[in-house]
Structure 1
């Protein structure tokens, strides 16, 4: 199990060839109270960097990008009923989607947890 981060504040938890994607605690703090989340449907294909989901808060709407290429195997339907899960547990129950990795070498371009913490200090 490996955890990675992007400069766009997505996290990706990789277990075998399955990746779970969500937004970081920092991202949800910047957004404020999340009121709506649109997650991708099962079977949707993404290339690295594609717009994959939408999150709306009382402050703003924002796209969530796919940190890697792959095929969606599940969208977190619980977010449709309770988008506040993104605020209460952004790096847990507030995940957005799961996909099968199509190119594991793309993980090399992502940040480790310590690299991400260092990155946040530059903002």
Structure 2
């Protein structure tokens, strides 16, 4: 498995990875049923996407039973870290502060989340 496979993941593949990160091992049917809740998609489309992801090394498949079970090979934290770094560089001219201010300005943030952010910033400033 290549270290930077997450570079090749499309938006649809990232949606599937998100499901696999949350649920763990899943069949194509299980992934498809979750995807259908948020967007219209055919079962064969989900199957084909997961087969492509297998070829890319984004997922692995257990074929020992009649129903094939898939799991993510990409680490969620590393993938998120890579995508955020890429976004900071490409969209916000390398400014993490701009990205954070944009994100906080455009989304409602709970008091708990704001407190967690403040605690994290305090920890960063103590380094």
TM-score, normalised to structure 1, is 0.28
Q: Larger Rg: 1 or 2?
A: 2
Which is helix-richer, 1 or 2? 2
| Highest RCO, 1 vs 2 (Cα 8 Å, sep ≥ 6) | 1
